[in-house]
Amino acid sequence: MAELNTDVRFVRGVGEARAKSLAKLGITDLKSLISYFPRAYEDRRESRRIAELQVGERACVTAMVASEPKLSRIRKGLELVKLRVVDESAALELTYFNQSYLKNTFHVGESYTFYGTVEGTLLRRTMTNPAFDREGLHAVTGCIVPVYPLTAGVGQSLLHRAIRQGLDEGADRLPDLLPAELRRQHGLCDVRYAYENIHFPADDAALAAARRRLAFEELYFLTLGLRLLRARRTTVKGKTCAAVDMTPFFGALPFSLTGAQARAVDDILRDMTAERPMNRLVQGDVGSGKTMVAAAGIYFAAKNGLQAALMAPTEILAEQHYHTLAPLLEKLGVRCALLTASTKAKTRRSILEQLAAGEIDLAIGTHALLSPDISYQSLGLVVTDEQHRFGVNQRAALGAKGDNPCTCSMYARSAVRQGRDAARARHVRDAHPAHAGADDLRRPRRFGDRRAAAGAAEHRDLRCAVELP
């Protein structure tokens, strides 16, 4: 038995060259080899008569070699082996490319089972490079065969052989992470059976049992991971804000907040006064007022002596946010700066010095905010616009520049996604009634031409909900 951390090079039949090809698939050791699960399966259990084969289908057929295989060398690098096989119903012509050894493999009068795509016509059926077994053997025919994702230099046959050898050498070393009582309670098979039958299922029932066990295990540990994250979030301490009079902010707006906006703001301010760091997702249609909701949080943080960072995916969007928020917030005493890749070096150095000294309250920018040389005196709030356009690591990198800052992610839905997202939001509210957040805004509230200046045109749907880890 080999250890699970054994280099894949040392698995019998792999070697140095094949190991380099397997590495492209993330297969580097015995554990990753046997954990490389199929993407699909081919049912090769039923053998058909040649006369029943339909052009274009993939099928198994058992037939006898009727003619001596012929080897033809078309040109350098191209060899063909052709032979004719028959059963009681019809004949089938086979062609193999660059497999000259097969000329001496097939013998007239012997029967084999072939699996491949039927080509040609109904009067002259052919197959090219079909898989085959001697009749009665079930290595690649007469069974359910796994189909794996491939890359250059790695074929299905290589993976079949390597994984088969890997299971033989290391499957007994697999730890069963699910307790026996849990397996018994849910009717789950053991890990050895699951790995064997996810790769080489004995039948449909065995494949279903293996899939169910492995799917349960994945979801089980995902659930445990989410619980650990939630538990950690309840113990992590952030910068707690004190209550602030928001009247100056609301009075500076050229419009009155809608009911949905007001409830979303209340959710955010309540979270920012809690001991644990806020982690919220503000979700709404384009023009529903997400930016103004975030602006309320930014003002709240600034009045508590904390800095905020707003990251947008493009320079155009970052500049739009700056030209929208800076005129509003600066007259309220919130100092703002714009930082993008286009910011001139001298201006950039000045902004970085002011951020480090706490002389800038809000930094608006693009990925430039993630630069290692940027530091904050007291980062308390991170706002990410179009959060789905940033990776988890990118959002985490910005948050790491503060001491467990509050986070607020904004997500604008397309019309295509609105129906699906509405159902998802209802699920969130049902699952987390304490964090139900703002209701849907069914009817726009009109404020004349002034609403456009504040980006509040045609409010449609806005909600605030706790972002799940």
Mind listing the domains of the chain with CATH numbers?
A: 8-40+150-218 (no CATH), 46-142 (2.40.50.140), 247-466 (3.40.50.300)
Average pLDDT, rounded, for the chain: 85
Region 357-386: what's the mean pLDDT? 91
Residue 459's pLDDT band (cuts 50, 70, 90): very low
Region 368-392: what's the mean pLDDT? 86
Residue 374: CA count within 13 A, CB half-sphere:
23
Region 386-405: what's the mean pLDDT? 81
Q: What is the pLDDT of residues 89-145, one digit of tens each?
A: 999 999 999 999 999 999 999 999 999 999 999 889 999 999 999 988 888 898 999
* pLDDT for res 420: 52
Is 84 within 8 Å of 66 (Cβ atoms)? yes
Q: What is the pLDDT of residues 201-259, one digit of tens each?
A: 999 999 999 999 999 999 999 898 888 877 766 667 777 889 999 999 999 998 888 88
* pLDDT for res 433: 42
More confident residue, 418 or 243: 243
Residue 464's pLDDT band (cuts 50, 70, 90): low
| Confidence check: pLDDT of 158 > 50 | yes
| Confidence check: pLDDT of 417 > 80 | no
More confident residue, 439 or 212: 212
Written as one string, the DSSP assignment of 69-132 is -EEEEEETTEEEEEEEEE-SS-EEEEEEES-GGGGGT--TT-EEEEEEE-EE-SSSEEEES-EE
* pLDDT for res 122: 87
H or E segment to which residue 182 belongs: helix 180-186
Least trusted range by pLDDT, from 150-154, 233-237, 448-452: 448-452
Least trusted range by pLDDT, from 228-242, 273-287, 425-439, 444-458: 444-458
Region 285-303: what's the mean pLDDT? 90
Alpha helices (H) along 384-433: 392-399, 415-431
Owner of token pair 């050894």? 101
| Confidence check: pLDDT of 41 > 50 | yes
Is 263 within 8 Å of 439 (Cβ atoms)? yes
| Confidence check: pLDDT of 146 > 90 | yes
Residue 434 structure tokens? 């304490």
* pLDDT for res 279: 85
Q: What is the pLDDT of residues 166-195, one digit of tens each?
A: 999 999 999 999 999 999 999 999 999 999
User: In the β-sheet with 279-285, what is the strand arrangement from edge to edge?
Assistant: 336-339, 362-365, 307-311, 379-384, 406-413, 279-285, 462-466
* pLDDT for res 140: 87
* pLDDT for res 338: 95
Residue 289's pLDDT band (cuts 50, 70, 90): confident
> How far is residue 2's CA from residue 18's CA, in Å, rounded to a whole number?
19
> What are phi and psi for residue 71, nearest 5 degrees?
-100, 125
Task: Using alpha carbons, select from 268, 227, 277 the residue that is nearest to residue 469.
Answer: 227
* pLDDT for res 413: 63
Is 308 within 8 Å of 302 (Cβ atoms)? yes
Region 56-79: what's the mean pLDDT? 92
What's the Rg (C-alpha) of the chain?
Answer: 32
Task: Using alpha carbons, select from 25, 34, 23 the residue that is nearest to residue 1.
Answer: 34
Least trusted range by pLDDT, from 193-202, 256-265, 353-362: 256-265
> What are phi and psi for residue 379, nearest 5 degrees?
-80, 120
More confident residue, 167 or 395: 167
Instruction: Using DSSP bridges, classify how beta strands 91-97 and 125-128 pair: parallel, antiparallel or unpaired.
Output: parallel
* pLDDT for res 284: 82
